[in-house]
Amino acid sequence: MQLKLDNNVSQFADEIEALSGLNLYDCYQCGKCSAGCPVSQFTQESPTRLIRLIQLNQKETVLNSKTPYLCASCSTCSERCPMEIDVAKVMETVRILASREGVKPAVKEVVNFSGAFLDSVKSNGRLFEFGMTISFNLRNRTPLKDAMLGPVMLQKGKLGLFPQSIKNKEKIKNIFNNSSYFEPKEEKKEH
């Protein structure tokens, strides 16, 4: 990989800190996060490497990495980090930032899944699993994916055929329509 270094190396790490409150300069690449990461074997950039790229201001590479999408949000990394960096939150922050900046997601299936899931919650207040799976398959253009599980689930009564709706749908719509990408931050930490 070719890195383009400039004199403004702190820019991206500062941006991440402003959005998430996480100070990535605390990371000294011990690799503990990547050693425990259950999905690092499936990704190109390990968590350690992704953080190093952030420190080196490689915004484009980071926003186009598959790693934040393949992160399973298990928080093993965050739990074990000796510097108490919430690494899982770094992944989340990068993903949300990429979406806000209109970067095409590196793993579109994961984003399609989230979209299908949240659409279902937005319209009914609760998840309608059957409808969500069909909607995901259509978005993903894999209409028959997991189709063989359907009949058994139906037979065992594990698949509701109709969505459940809550009464106060207006509240849910309000939450969806007015939520911001990032939470407000109290104050910037010194480092």
Following CA atoms 17, 23, 25, 31 in sequence, which dihedral angle do they give, to the nearest 10 degrees? -110
The residue among 3 and 72 lying less far from other proteins, judged by its C-beta, is 72
Tell me if 174 contacts other proteins by CB under 8 A.
yes
Tell me if 9 contacts other proteins by CB under 8 A.
no
Stretch that binds other proteins, among 1-9, 26-34, 50-58, 90-98 (CB under 8 A): 90-98
Tell me if 82 contacts other proteins by CB under 8 A.
no
The three-class DSSP label of residue 158 is coil
Q: Shortest gap between Cβ of 181 and other proteins (angstroms)?
A: 5
Q: Kindly report the three-state secondary structure assignment for every residue of 57-79.
A: CCHHHHHCCCHHHHCCCCCHHHH
Q: Please tell me what DSSP assigns to residue 45.
A: S
Cα 16 to Cα 22, 97, 145, 166: the distances in Å are 7, 9, 36, 36
Q: How far apart are CA 13 and CA 57, in angstroms?
A: 7
Tell me if 149 contacts other proteins by CB under 8 A.
yes
Q: Shortest gap between Cβ of 90 and other proteins (angstroms)?
A: 12
Tell me if 15 contacts other proteins by CB under 8 A.
no
Contact 28, 83 (CB under 8 A): yes
Beta-carbon contacts of residue 31 (< 8 Å; ≥ 6 apart): 46, 48
Stretch that binds other proteins, among 10-18, 23-31, 55-63, 126-134 (CB under 8 A): 126-134
The residue among 61 and 112 lying less far from other proteins, judged by its C-beta, is 112
Nearest alpha-carbon partner for 89 in 33, 28, 10: 33
**Count of CB atoms within 10 A of residue 107's CB?**
16
Which of 2, 7, 8, 168: binder of other proteins (CB under 8 A)?
A: 168
Residues that bind other proteins (CB under 8 A): 38-39, 42, 70, 72-76, 78-79, 86, 88, 92, 95-96, 99, 107, 109-110, 112-115, 117-118, 121, 125-127, 129-130, 133, 136, 140, 145-146, 149, 152-153, 156-160, 164, 166-168, 171-172, 174-176, 178-186
